[in-house]
Amino acid sequence: MLTAIFDIGRTNKKLILFDDQYRAVEEISETLPETADEDGYPCDDLPLMTQWVKDQWNGLRNRKDIQLRAVNVAAYGASLVHVDAEGNPLTPIYSYLKPFPEELSKKFYGQYGDVMKLARQTCSPPMGMLNSGLQIYWVKYEQPEVFKRIRWSLHLPQYISFLISGQFVSDFTSIGCHTTLWDFEKRHYHDWVLREGLQRKLAPVVGQPVVGFDLVNDRPVPIGGGLHDSSSVIMAYLSRCQGEFMVVSTGTWCISLNPFNRGPLSEEELKKDCLTFLTVGGTFVKASRLFMGREHDYQVARIAQHFNVGKEFSRKIPYQADLVQQALARTENRLVPACMSGTGPFPDRPPGVWDLSSFESAEEAYTQLIVDLVQILNVSIRLVDSNVPTLYVDGGFARNPIFMQLLANLFPEKQVFTSQLPQATAIGAALYIRQDDEPVSGWTFERVKSDVVSA
């Protein structure tokens, strides 16, 4: 019996089949080319993504060599698909990085009050299109004729689920990911949503794993409503880890998640890119964000070009104490971020160009990059830390020896672990739809201890 999970990321779209012990027995991965919206801004190609999901699902349904136990979805958040009554998309899937019009922002906050007060109530730093509620608001006033035709505005995980189940639903994990839609104090849609009538465009919220069934090989297969990817990751850890802990989920975004810090967000925390997620049951997970993966990849490409080395060079660089000490002692030419402006614990830091000419090798420049990124991450983690004793690192940076050793050095009072679970996002969605106690096979942790280098 296999559980199928559609794991939809910004870069890779995956279909993963898990056996009863959550071992990935088959994986199909596709990198779909981007397109552009009507303004020329890059975005995911929604028709292409839609067809890919349908093709994969139809392929699964027609296979006679497998039996499906359940199907679910995990996908990136902060993105909406606006559909008509039949589920046909009416707009592109606008990028959450698309600039929000300044005049419309003034109109919104002029009508609905103080920026930081609204941010505290909705646990959502003001981020323009990254606040998906403002995406609906933007369509309403920038494309009023399209807005009239919208029956449902579905977050991406729930749109992918609809393609499989035919059911229009919303869920807490998508509503609660910095959308500005949810009033965390009243535990309901915020008053501004009701005053704009947007709740009529939002599908009913489901609080259970299964939203529908499909008949596959003469057997009804339960289908989940989909989860926001960060919430899916934390679900995997909550289901299997003991005691209090934090998870640093690394990828394009580096998100520090603390499910044991449920305190209210302060204005200062909101300004430094802290927020609160909702779990599937509507409980709180305090988090901080950093656009670290995007910054890393951008600077790695620059280093590779400057030193005329292959783009994969960084994967071969080990932790070298002498280079780390040199990087920590450097007083000039520290990293100048190019991609993190407006995010993280230093949102007002303007973008710039990092000078690579003073470094003698790609190894030296890359070590400096990781040292400086980890020091910024240190500030981000401590914003939401509640003195938990354990720190798990998930995602791509968990396999970076320089990153992991520096992080352990910064938190000598904690147990710092790399998580050997490549499909944590998908496994969280599988755990939720299956609701069982089967062990996750092959999920191991490796502790990284602090060494003599002090970061």
| Cβ atoms of 246 and 385 closer than 8 Å | yes
- Looking at residue 18, its pLDDT comes to 95
Q: Which helix (H) or strand (E) holds 229?
A: helix 229-240
Tell me the domains of the chain and their CATH numbers: 2-225 (3.30.420.40), 229-455 (3.30.420.40)
Alpha helices in 287-423 (DSSP H): 292-307, 321-329, 362-384, 401-410
Pairing outcome for strands 415-420 and 444-448: antiparallel
Cα dist. 393→255, 370, 382, 418, 422 in Å? Answer: 10, 15, 15, 5, 11
Cα dist. 87→25, 60, 83, 261, 294 in Å? Answer: 32, 22, 5, 38, 33
3-class SS of residue 221: strand
The one-letter code for the residue type at 416 is V
Buried b or exposed e, range 168-186, using 16+ CB within 10 angstroms: bbbbbbbbbbbbbbbbbee
Report d(CA 413, CA 97) in Å as an integer: 37
- Looking at residue 424, its pLDDT comes to 85
- Looking at residue 444, its pLDDT comes to 83
- Looking at residue 454, its pLDDT comes to 46
Query: In sequence order, what are the residues at sequence separation of 6 or more whose Cβ sits closer than 8 angstroms to the Cβ of residue 328?
Result: 371, 453, 455
Q: Of all residues in the chain, what percent carry a pLDDT higher than 70?
A: 99
For 119, half-sphere exposure in the C-beta direction (CA atoms, 13 angstrom radius) is 19
Buried b or exposed e, range 415-430, using 16+ CB within 10 angstroms: bbbbbebbbbbbbbbb
Find the mean pLDDT for residues 341-359.
93
Asked whether the predicted pLDDT for residue 402 surpasses 90, the reply is: yes
Both tokens of residue 213?
Answer: 């069934």
pLDDT category at 311 given cuts 50, 70, 90 is confident
CB atoms within 10 A of CB 331: 5
- Looking at residue 453, its pLDDT comes to 46
- Looking at residue 452, its pLDDT comes to 54
Find the mean pLDDT for residues 253-282.
89
pLDDT single digits (tens) 190-221:
999 999 999 999 999 998 899 999 999 889 99
| Cβ atoms of 90 and 70 closer than 8 Å | no
- 403 burial (CB, 10 Å; 0-12 / 13-18 / 19+) is buried
Please name the residue that has the structure tokens 């019009």: 101
pLDDT category at 169 given cuts 50, 70, 90 is very high
Find the mean pLDDT for residues 400-407.
96
Asked whether the predicted pLDDT for residue 455 surpasses 60, the reply is: no
pLDDT category at 145 given cuts 50, 70, 90 is very high
pLDDT single digits (tens) 38-58:
999 999 999 999 999 999 999
Query: Which residues, in sequence order, are bridge partners of residue 82?
Result: 153
Asked whether the predicted pLDDT for residue 128 surpasses 80, the reply is: yes
Q: What is the pTM of this model?
A: 0.85
Alpha helices in 115-228 (DSSP H): 115-122, 132-142, 144-149, 156-165, 172-175, 191-196
